Structure 1
Amino acid sequence: MKKLLLALPILLFWACSQKDLVKVEGKIDHADGKVLYFDRLNTTGVEVLDSTTLDEEGRFKFKVENTQPEFYLLRLSNGKLITLLAEANESILVYSKSENMGKNYIVEGSKGSKLVKELNDKLNETKDQLASIRKELEEKKTDPNYSSISQNLLADYVKALQSQREFSINFIMKNATSLSSYMALYQKLDDKTFTLNENDDIKFVKIVASSMKALYPEHDYTKAILSNLADLEKRMVNLKISKLIEEKGSSFPDITLPNAKGKEVTLSSLQGKFIVLSFWASQDANSRKQNANLKKIYDKFNKKGLEIYQVSVDQNEKLWTKAIQEDQLNWTNVCDLKNGSAMATRLYNIQSIPSNYLLDQKGEIVGKNLFGLALEEKIAEYVK
């Protein structure tokens, strides 16, 4: 019993000293003399972990400490590479040939790396299909039947795009708990075209982000996707308001903000009047000039049914109220001083000040960013 008790601390020490490792080994044919790099693929770029110069046999071995799923690259000095997705304590075997390394390889011992290969194989297949169709379109330009030929080829092109999109969606839904789904979200057909590029695709970002937040809350890729999701949600708000503005007969998004006396006033409380929804700032010279023009227009049309609902982006109450007094702004003036009326400006996709929208008596948006004589003439069409 004494010997066992004495041995126990030694065994515990030995167990604690073992580190979570990823081991990657294999063979790259036809790569004699080339340098093979082993990189970690971070959200901010590539980190070189190790390298080796391959001999005639092309054999290699790498290892790295790892406690969570990570993306790695096997990268040859000729630019060819293989992407791996490894978890702690995996021993990964890779075989390929240098001339076609990223497109034709075998990987064993890693479920994540097999999923990555599945993604890349489909993407490469789609890229090859699209390139082939583009080439045929170019070659057939002089054909007398080019019109009908091109229609068929373009139909094939769209079909290939749809097939890739469906594949990406199905892959994410099957593998939402794998970091490979992060990769599926951001795959590109070219420098500008994502495989998932429709507005509604934000729902797949939400699915993957939710899974990663639950499984790997401190992972850099989790932080990256949550940040991206926040940006996409803001963009969707902007797209919705832009679409709303373009659609004839749409009702305007409502705003409720406090005036200079602290009383909340809603934009919709003025409905039935012709409304100039104006965005401005007390320290902006152009805004102040526009105030002078607005005052002339207000004095001319107010008794005929014109109202102004003015939203300030100020965060200094004294400067805001001082400007209201100096410019003699005797219409509705509101501001969220805590954040410069950020919600209202985001809701109406305000990119610069001064800006305005014109809302007619039915609540329809009938104009945007009209100033001076153009503003007065537009108002005169509706207020008589």
Structure 2
Amino acid sequence: MKKLLFAIPLLLLFACNQENTIKITGRIQKGDGITLYLDKLHTASKETIDSVQLDKDGEFSFKTKSTQPEFYLLRLSNGKLITLLTAPNEEVEVNSIASHMNSAYIVSGSTGSAFVKDLNDKLNKTKDSLAVIKKELKEKKSDPNYSSISQNLLAKYIEVIQDQRDFSANFIMKNATSLSSYLALYQKIDKDTYTLNENADIKYAKIVASSMRALYPEHEYTKAVLANLKTMQDRLTNLKVKEMIAEKGTNYPNITLKNTKGTEVNLNSLDGKFIILSFWASQDVNSRKQNKTLKNIYKKYKNKGLEIYQVSIDQDEKLWKKAIKEDGLNWINVCDLENGSGLAVRNFNVQQIPANYLISQKGEIVGKNLYGIALEEKIADYIK
């Protein structure tokens, strides 16, 4: 019993001597004369903790106190940066080169920072793959086989995005107890598109929120994800209430894109009309042929409740507007020129160009990829 009583004060003394500090050391090569900052990342801002001007050796050392996991930035004055996720009493080592610090670095001594690197490496790979596809789409516009080429590239584009989504979801499932799951939840493919952006993905927000609430109840990131989860739940609840009131049972995702004048037009603003949702490309021969059919149908049914919402996958504004003018398209034409309308294409699982969906007056998808006589016959079933 005496030995046990003696051990207790020793344990208390050891606990009291834990400084709850984080030490970050390493070397940034070829950074002579550049200032390296250590920033603490908050949910909506950053706080500079320390800085050092690198010499020709590039070695640095930072030390700061922390009682819980936190996100930090190692940031160079040339704009390059590295995101770290540290835990109390970790000794983190980072090695990189100043000119490529954000894309190529080695980190050790920190499990959270290794997770962050995995997430960012995967996202950067996804962005690079999408950029290559976009470039090839642009370069092949004058190719006589552009129709088949664009279909293949479009399918590949969707595949790359889906692979990123699967990676993010699986990461959260495997690492829900790490604050890195918060990063996985809110990563973006571009400025408007989260890797997890479907209504069903609220389940991953619930997983992250539940884990963080249990482990770090007072953490600012916990409060942020809980607030965001409530917003998501309220939005879904309101959507369901609206559907119940309207008694429509709408079964298609909304699209919000800009028309040729730069004004945003929502697909669901056409509620109550029979809609042809058409996907096309200005340099695709089959798309231009399809426009002739659509013109005849639109002329016949536009005064009976038909509307066409046409989404272009173009990334060249001049070519898009030129084709609209040449073909005399006087219905709704929209496009996300920066991303080739990638989100809309993905949400509707478009695998070919041209493509179409038929949406009834009740908001139900009643046809897909119908052309010519088959398209007009289906419309005639709903518009008398």
Alpha-carbon distance in structure 2 between the residues aligned to 1:115 and 1:249: 41
Distance 1:45 1:52 in 2: 21
1:192 partnered with 2:192: yes
Deviation, structure 1 residue 241: 2.8
Q: Distance in 2 between matches of 1:56 and 1:78?
A: 16
1:211 aligns with 2:211: yes
Correspondence for 1:152: 152
| Cα deviation digits, residues 228-283 of structure 1 (max 9, x gap) | 11111101112223444565489xxxxxxxxxxxxxxxxxxxxxxxxxxxxxxxxx
Alpha carbons of structure 1 residues 206 and 248: separation in structure 2 relative to 1, 3 Å: closer
CA distance in structure 1 between the aligned counterparts of 2:133 and 2:236, rounded to whole angstroms: 33
Q: Which residue of 1 aligns with 2:137?
A: 137
SS in 1 for 2:190: coil
Are residue 178 (structure 1) and residue 175 (structure 2) matched? no
Q: Secondary structure at the match of 1:189?
A: strand
Deviation at 1:10, TM superposition (A): 11
* SS of residue paired to 2:188: coil
Q: CA deviation at 1:11?
A: 11
Alpha carbons of structure 1 residues 148 and 15: separation in structure 2 relative to 1, 3 Å? closer
* Cα distance in structure 2, aligned partners of 1:103 and 1:146: 34
**Contact 2:243-2:249 within 8 A present in 1 as well:** no
The 1:14/1:170 distance shift into structure 2, 3 A limit, reads closer
Q: Following the alignment from structure 1 to structure 2, what is the Cα–Cα distance between the partners of residues 239 and 77? A: 46
Corresponding residue for 1:79? 79
**Is 1:99 equivalent to 2:99 in the alignment?**
yes
- Please report how far the alpha carbon of residue 18 of structure 1 lies from its aligned counterpart in structure 2 after TM superposition: 4.5
Q: Aligned equivalents of 2:184 and 2:249: distance in 1?
A: 39
Query: 2-side partners of 1:23 and 1:249: how far apart?
Result: 56
Q: Which residue of 1 aligns with 2:366?
A: none
Structure whose alpha-carbon radius of gyration is higher: 1
The 5 A counterparts of 1:163-312 are: 163-244=163-244, 248=248
Aligned counterpart, 2:55? 55
Distance 1:144 1:246, change over 3 A: farther
Which consecutive residues of structure 1, in runs of 5 or more, have no partner in the other structure? 1-7, 251-364, 367-384
Structure 1 pair 205–58 and aligned structure 2 pair: CA distance change class (3 A) = same
For residues 139 and 122 of structure 1, the distance between their equivalents in structure 2, rounded to whole angstroms, comes to 26
- CA-to-aligned-CA distance 1:184-243 (integer Å, 9 cap, x gap): 000001111000000011110001100000001111111111111111110111222344
1:313-332, aligned counterparts within 5 Å?
none
What is the letter of the counterpart of residue 112 of structure 2?
Answer: G
| Counterpart Cα distance in 1 of 2:201 and 2:214 | 21
- Number of the residue aligned with 1:128: 128
Tell which has more relative contact order, 1 or 2 (C-alpha 8 A, sep 6+).
Answer: 2
CA distance in structure 2 between the partners assigned to 1:22 and 1:134 by the alignment: 42
SS at match of 2:83: strand
Q: In structure 2, what is the Cα distance between the partners aligned to 1:213 and 1:81?
A: 29
* Alpha-carbon distance in 2 for matches of 1:31, 1:90: 25
Could you say which residue in structure 1 is the equivalent of 2:68? 68
> 1:103 deviation in Å?
1.1
Partner of 1:119: 119
* Aligned AA (2:110): S
Inter-partner Cα distance in structure 1 for 2:71 and 2:87 = 9
Q: How far off is 1:19 after superposition?
A: 1.5
Instruction: Name the counterpart of 1:88.
Output: 88
Asked if the contact 2:69/2:179 (under 8 Å) is kept, the reply is yes
Amino acid at match of 2:141: K
1:28 alignment counterpart: 28
Q: Is the 8 A contact 2:96 2:104 kept in 1?
A: yes
Question: Quick one: distance in 1 between partners of 2:249 and 2:168?
Answer: 37
Structure-2-length-normalised TM-score: 0.61
Deviations 1:276-304 (A, max 9, x none): xxxxxxxxxxxxxxxxxxxxxxxxxxxxx
Q: Distance in 1 between matches of 2:130 and 2:84?
A: 26
Aligned with 1:138: secondary structure? Answer: helix
Q: Which residue of 1 aligns with 2:108?
A: 108
TM-score normalised by length of structure 1: 0.61
Aligned partners of 1:52 and 1:249: how far apart in 2?
A: 60
What SS does the aligned partner of 2:135 have?
helix
The Cα shift of 1:102 comes to 1.0
